[in-house]
A and B are shown apart, each in its own frame.
Chain A
Amino acid sequence: MTFRTTMAFRLVLLAGLAASPALAQENENPLPEKQAWSFAGPLGKYNTAQLQRGYQVYREVCSNCHSMHFLSFRNLSDAGGPSFSDGQVKALAASYKVQDGPNDSGDMFERAGRASDPFPQPFANEQAARAANGGALPPDMSVLAKARDIEGAWYSFLLGPFSTYQEQGVDYIHALLNGYSETPKGFTLPSGKYYNEYFPGHAISMPKPLNDGQVDYSDGSPKTVDQYAHDVSAFLAWTSEPKLNQRKNMGFNAIVFLIVFASLLYAVKRRIWAGLHDVSGTPIDHAAE
């Protein structure tokens, strides 16, 4: 009976699904390719060297236009992040001038940055940022990697829950940075815009930010756009999910514990219920209890 029930249910479900491909949407943008991120999957971890390179790309290139409100220099030495030493972070912060104040005489003053200072803003306000970027606002980068997604296939709502792959936003940023190309014939690009295969609508206000050889890596990694794009995307993954290492670690322990606990409970349950299911069992007279 139970078998028939589940079969009937599956058939109805399948019939419903078979009818729905007609509902699937056409995807006008190519799907960004899945990359092999070190932090994907249940045992994934950030790669410290990659985060350090990514920070370099961010600082030298992206930070000229993109702010990062929710990060401070001190975060760069957090465990599970780029893990710069405290000394490196202090020196780095001190290389920036920060406005502080007012002091006791009521004046604003400049001082060297400290580790507790937030990352500097590239523009004084939104209007200034727009004015410098042809009217477009470069989005804040703190949680950018979680704020972008890739539209999956129509059946992805069935498979999605079983996949631990959460890196769609990172894949998108990587693809976007590699997606600049010649404007195809027949596409009219508004002035001040650039053609990008992966940007929705293809006309993006951000000029191609990365070129080969632009950032000088000191660890011997290739100085190519693809490498830069990987590194800065990984860095943005960390800024948007700084506790990922801790989360996946704890998750492994929690799930192992719960499975062991469930198995023990199942054994106890079997023991307590023994004999109550079949004819041979003597029903317990619990009136007597």
Chain B
Amino acid sequence: MSGPSTYVPQNGFLRWFESRLPIIGLVHSSFIAFPNPRNLNYFWTFGGILAFMLIEQIVTGLVLAMHYTPESSMAFASVEHIMRDVNYGWLLRYLHANGATMFFIAVYIHIARNLYYGSYKAPREILFILGVIIFLLMMATAFMGYVLPWGQMSFWGAKVITSLFSAIPFVGDSITTWLWGGYSVGNATLNRFFALHYLMPFMILGVVVLHIWALHIPGSNNPVGVEVKSQKDTLPFHPYFTVKDAFSLVCFMVVFAYFVFYAPNYFGHSDNYIEANPLVTPAHIVPEWYFLPYYAMLRAVPSKLGGVCALFGSILLLAFLPWLDTSRVRSSNFRPVYRAFLFLFFATVIGLGYCGSQEPVGSVVVWSEILTAWYFIHLLIVLPLLGFFETPRKMPASITEAVLGPKGASAAMVGARAAAEPSVKG
């Protein structure tokens, strides 16, 4: 996506077109000729999966929007109308609702991959920060989408989360009223959430373009975390990575299809099949599963403002990872101590998710507090210090050596040296 393309138009029309709008060359250099490290494992296929899920959500969402009514007395009925009377409406809705879940499963794996292989380190800081922005936009989009069916959890989830803004000193209450478009969650809230839910996926799409652009400057990181040194370290995107991504995507779709067809309401909450009722508070308000770790942090801090700070801080801190992690070694494969701490961190997040799903009583509170504290200790203390104290393992000299062993690598290097300055950039 950067630099001049090696694309050679095959006929007169294409030459004419390409000299006026070099878009085929752009696609060619980004997704055909683009050199990718040859040692990428299957964790690197989730980027493609995420792009697919975004498009899938936009397409199913668009058709749902043709049948959905964003009006508080009709929204619930219109979703039931989609489920019952629209041709394949049940399929569209289950694809969209479970699509959000699969989107988050993929994004969590994608983020975990970045943490494990240190992909956020120089020169990929901007790329990583764009990723954090996408993640935030996804959370806002999914939160507002969940309000649209106007069930009990939609309504009360919206109420709990928007009320958080009232914790801001002095202007909090005014902000909340402004967000609601009234003095409580109601028709005005539903209307604006629908408008924003429609808009935000396209904002995500825009940031995704920047994300891929920023990726194609340094190229992908890889499991050993050693930068590409020669062309022998890479393989062109097509056919090597197109076929690998396609295989992985179809496997992912098997899981997706399993949920859509055999357990479509597994990730939902049964209370959301009861129409929103401002007078009846559900016994137990829980957000969707992908928000549970943050919900647990919110409740772990005794003060409301503190809880809100923990909630937003936990995500914003991720944007500072490139500077919080002081080690120059990227891949955890060569950082045994960091790796142990990282798995502890993953377990912390899963534990927080469990706490978020439970009622905040007894040991759940204590565990939420311990795990929240550890989340921040890991990011703010362990990560910066480890870089100074840990001695990394010996790393292979190049990607080719990591794949083929020292002997194969030296054979390959002969050829590499013959080739002049390798074009790492696409």
A residues with a Cβ closer than 8 A to B are 1, 5, 8-9, 12-13, 15-16, 19-20, 22-23, 25, 42, 69-70, 75, 139, 142-143, 146-149, 157, 160-161, 163-164, 166, 168-169, 200, 240, 242-243, 246-248, 250-252, 254-255, 258-259, 261-262, 265-266, 268-269, 272-273, 276-279, 281, 283-287, 289
Q: Which residues of B contact A252 (CB under 8 A)?
A: 261
Known contacts A146-B265, A240-B273, A265-B250; decide if A283 and B243 are in contact (CB<8 Å). Answer: no
- In the assembled complex, how far is the CB of residue B245 from the closest CB belonging to chain A, in whole angstroms? 10
Q: CB within 8 A of A283: which of B94, B346, B415?
A: B415
- In the assembled complex, how far is the CB of residue A2 from the closest CB belonging to chain B, in whole angstroms? 9
When C-beta atoms are compared, the residue in chain B nearest to A261 turns out to be B250
Report how far A273 CA is from B236 CA in the complex, Å.
12
Report whether B254 and A259 are in contact in the complex, using a CB–CB cutoff of 8 Å.
yes
Interface with A: B58-66, B158-166, B356-364, which one? B356-364
Q: Which residues of A contact B263 (CB under 8 A)?
A: 161, 163-164, 166
Does B235 interact with chain A (Cβ within 8 Å)?
A: yes
Report how far A285 CA is from B346 CA in the complex, Å.
40
Q: Which residues of A contact B364 (CB under 8 A)?
A: 23
When C-beta atoms are compared, the residue in chain A nearest to B81 turns out to be A70
Report whether B340 and A8 are in contact in the complex, using a CB–CB cutoff of 8 Å.
yes
CB contacts under 8 Å to A, within B43-97, are 77, 80-81, 83-84, 90-91, 94
Report how far A243 CA is from B186 CA in the complex, Å.
31
Mark B332-366 against chain A: 1 for CB-CB distance below 8 A, else 0.
01000001100110110011001101110011100
Does B227 interact with chain A (Cβ within 8 Å)?
A: no
Q: CB within 8 A of A272: which of B94, B240, B270?
A: B240
Known contacts A13-B350, A157-B354, A160-B266; decide if A265 and B243 are in contact (CB<8 Å). Answer: yes
Report how far A9 CA is from B332 CA in the complex, Å.
13
Q: CB within 8 A of A258: which of B244, B253, B273?
A: B253
- In the assembled complex, how far is the CB of residue B250 from the closest CB belonging to chain A, in whole angstroms? 4
Report how far A236 CA is from B339 CA in the complex, Å.
51
Does B38 interact with chain A (Cβ within 8 Å)?
A: yes
Please list the 4 inter-chain residue pairs (A to B) with the smallest Cβ-Cβ separation, ordered nearest first.
A251-B261, A149-B270, A147-B273, A279-B408
Report whether B412 and A283 are in contact in the complex, using a CB–CB cutoff of 8 Å.
yes
When C-beta atoms are compared, the residue in chain A nearest to B268 turns out to be A146
Does B403 interact with chain A (Cβ within 8 Å)?
A: yes
A sample of 4 more A-B contacts (CB under 8 A), given A161-B263, A255-B258, is A23-B354, A148-B270, A166-B263, A283-B415
Mark B288-332 against chain A: 1 for CB-CB distance below 8 A, else 0.
000000000000000000000000000000000000000000000
When C-beta atoms are compared, the residue in chain A nearest to B236 turns out to be A286
Report whether B357 and A281 are in contact in the complex, using a CB–CB cutoff of 8 Å.
no
Report whether B261 and A146 are in contact in the complex, using a CB–CB cutoff of 8 Å.
no
When C-beta atoms are compared, the residue in chain A nearest to B89 turns out to be A243
Report whether B347 and A13 are in contact in the complex, using a CB–CB cutoff of 8 Å.
yes
- In the assembled complex, how far is the CB of residue B412 from the closest CB belonging to chain A, in whole angstroms? 5
Q: Which residues of A contact B260 (CB under 8 A)?
A: 251
When C-beta atoms are compared, the residue in chain B nearest to A285 turns out to be B415
Q: Which residues of A contact B94 (CB under 8 A)?
A: 247
Known contacts A147-B274, A279-B407; decide if A247 and B91 are in contact (CB<8 Å). Answer: yes
Q: Which residues of A contact B269 (CB under 8 A)?
A: 149
Q: Which residues of B contact A168 (CB under 8 A)?
A: 270
Report whether A23 and B355 are in contact in the complex, using a CB–CB cutoff of 8 Å.
yes
**Majority secondary structure of chain B interface residues (helix, strand, loop or mixed):** helix
Report how far A273 CA is from B362 CA in the complex, Å.
55
B residues with a Cβ closer than 8 A to A are 38, 77, 80-81, 83-84, 90-91, 94, 231-232, 235-236, 239-240, 243-244, 246-247, 250-251, 253-254, 257-266, 269-271, 273-274, 283, 333, 339-340, 343-344, 346-347, 350-351, 354-355, 357-359, 362-364, 367, 400, 403-405, 407-408, 412, 415, 419
Report whether B254 and A265 are in contact in the complex, using a CB–CB cutoff of 8 Å.
no
Report whether B246 and A247 are in contact in the complex, using a CB–CB cutoff of 8 Å.
no
Report how far A20 CA is from B371 CA in the complex, Å.
12
Report how far A146 CA is from B273 CA in the complex, Å.
6
Report whether B367 and A23 are in contact in the complex, using a CB–CB cutoff of 8 Å.
yes
When C-beta atoms are compared, the residue in chain B nearest to A258 turns out to be B254
Can you list 17 pairs linking A and B with CB atoms under 8 Å apart? Answer: A15-B347, A20-B354, A20-B367, A23-B354, A164-B263, A200-B283, A248-B261, A254-B261, A262-B247, A269-B244, A276-B403, A278-B404, A283-B400, A283-B408, A283-B412, A287-B419, A289-B236
Report how far A269 CA is from B238 CA in the complex, Å.
12
Q: CB within 8 A of B266: which of A166, A240, A279?
A: A166
Q: CB within 8 A of B347: which of A5, A16, A166, A255?
A: A16
- In the assembled complex, how far is the CB of residue A72 from the closest CB belonging to chain B, in whole angstroms? 10
Report whether A157 and B347 are in contact in the complex, using a CB–CB cutoff of 8 Å.
no
- In the assembled complex, how far is the CB of residue A1 from the closest CB belonging to chain B, in whole angstroms? 6
Report how far A167 CA is from B399 CA in the complex, Å.
51
Q: CB within 8 A of A276: which of B84, B235, B343?
A: B235
Report whether B84 and A242 are in contact in the complex, using a CB–CB cutoff of 8 Å.
yes
When C-beta atoms are compared, the residue in chain A nearest to B244 turns out to be A269
- In the assembled complex, how far is the CB of residue A263 from the closest CB belonging to chain B, in whole angstroms? 9
When C-beta atoms are compared, the residue in chain A nearest to B38 turns out to be A276
Known contacts A13-B350, A70-B77, A157-B354; decide if A251 and B265 are in contact (CB<8 Å). Answer: no
- In the assembled complex, how far is the CB of residue A139 from the closest CB belonging to chain B, in whole angstroms? 8
Q: Which residues of A contact B412 (CB under 8 A)?
A: 283
Report whether A250 and B273 are in contact in the complex, using a CB–CB cutoff of 8 Å.
no
When C-beta atoms are compared, the residue in chain A nearest to B358 turns out to be A23
